[in-house]
Amino acid sequence: MTDHEFGFDTLCLHAGQVPDAATGSRAAPIYQTTSYVFDSPDHAASLFNLQTFGNVYSRLSNPTVAVLEERLAAIERGRAAVAAATGIAAQAVALLNVLEQGDEIVAARTLYGGTLTQLDVTLRKMGIATHFIDSDDPENFARAITAKTKILYAETIANPSLNVLDLAAVAKIANDAGVALCVDNTFATPWGCRPFDYGAALIVHSATKFLGGHGTSMGGVVIESGKFPWDNGRYPAMTEPSVGYHGIRFFETFGDFGFTMKCRMECLRTLGPALSPFNAFLLLQGIETLPLRMERHCANALAVARHLEAHPRVRWVNYPGLPSSRYHDLARRYLPRGAGAVLTFGIEGGASAGAKFIESVEFLSHLANIGDAKTLVIHPASTTHRQLNQEQQRAAGVTADLVRVSVGLESIEDILWDIDKALDKAAS
């Protein structure tokens, strides 16, 4: 069986785990422990020297978390992964793993509000500059790259503007320049798109969203392709002796999973955003049904988008699965199974009507999340992007009348019933 290439659905159920040898447990056990017994002083020393693989402390690694990491690397067709407590923590781990004072990022300006703040405020305080560009034209990435650029950053599907990235074009620009492209694949999920297939070097996910799928568990992950040449002269943190870890040269020692090892032994070790074993267990349960859920999510989202597009009280609808979307051709190329579960629309009457719509929904949930099995609605300008000024909101594609819907798994007739009822109340 070792030479057999398993399908995506099978990997979601089995990758990274076999029945527990000690108990025969079919489900991955929850190893709810902080630390692990060493065989001997020599064994302990070899673990701390990274000469032997094994568990030392659950801030660094844990058997339950390791199953999640291996499974996510497998379904993204990556080489290795490291999990973190949240999606934003995973993003920080990925970036701080190779960035230092004086370095630069080139990023899409349509990113999620929390990501924008991390890049434009938190990292800028550390002396790491981010240049935000219009990612609809891939050449804008090329124009912004300098000798100090170490990361290009974008989302497969932007949140909440729903821009679809031309992955192959941006990846070619990044690879030609010797710069790592990091893609947030949260909205698309690996079921919808695998950015490594188009040349990305790194993928991050907020596993809190569709991967977990039930709104119960925070988590994030960084996945590396194993194909990026970190020894191209632009990344001394990967090739020079580590001041913080025994002088080890991560890329020289670990090769195609050197980035992941550095994330684990430097960022997780010193910053501490470890994922709990229990959350890893819950996220694994979600991944087992990811293919089935995403198929329904996307089908329902397309039905809602079509319904809203024809509704007299709706000014506009933004969903890449609609032929009217400027991103429809890119969605057909990169998201052939479905254009995701999130859509946005504007109601006649502007911001006040949008607020009244949200107040009027009955079983649709008003909360700051996406990717739940339940349908969720929110007004981003007053919530997720509230910390941005009006100019920044416009640049991120957030207008005052914009309502975001994360379409869930309920019966489509019921979703449309609740939307229609709320639209009627918003109009009155």
Given 2.102.10.10, 3.40.30.10, 3.40.50.300, 3.90.1150.10, which CATH number is that of 290-427? 3.90.1150.10
Residue 390: the pLDDT is: 76
9: phi then psi, degrees, rounded to nearest 5: -60, -40
pLDDT for res 385? 63
pLDDT < 70 regions, the chain:
1-2, 383-386, 395-396
What percentage of the chain's residues is helix, strand, coil (to nearest 5)?
A: 40, 15, 45
SS3 state of residue 244: coil
* pLDDT, tens only, 302-355: 999 999 999 999 999 999 999 999 999 999 999 999 999 999 999 888 778 888
pLDDT tens profile 218-265: 999 999 999 999 999 999 999 999 998 889 999 999 999 999 999 999
Q: What is the predicted pLDDT for the residue at 89?
A: 98
Among the CATH numbers 1.10.260.40, 3.40.980.10, 3.30.465.10, 3.40.640.10, which is that of 8-286?
A: 3.40.640.10
* CA distances in angstroms from 385 to 108, 205, 278, 330, listed in the order given: 15, 19, 30, 26
> What is the predicted pLDDT for the residue at 2?
67
Domain spans in the chain, listed from the N-terminal domain onward: 8-286, 290-427
SS3 state of residue 152 = strand
* 149 vs 107: CA distance, rounded Å: 11
pLDDT of residue 1: 45
Predicted pLDDT of residue 396: 66
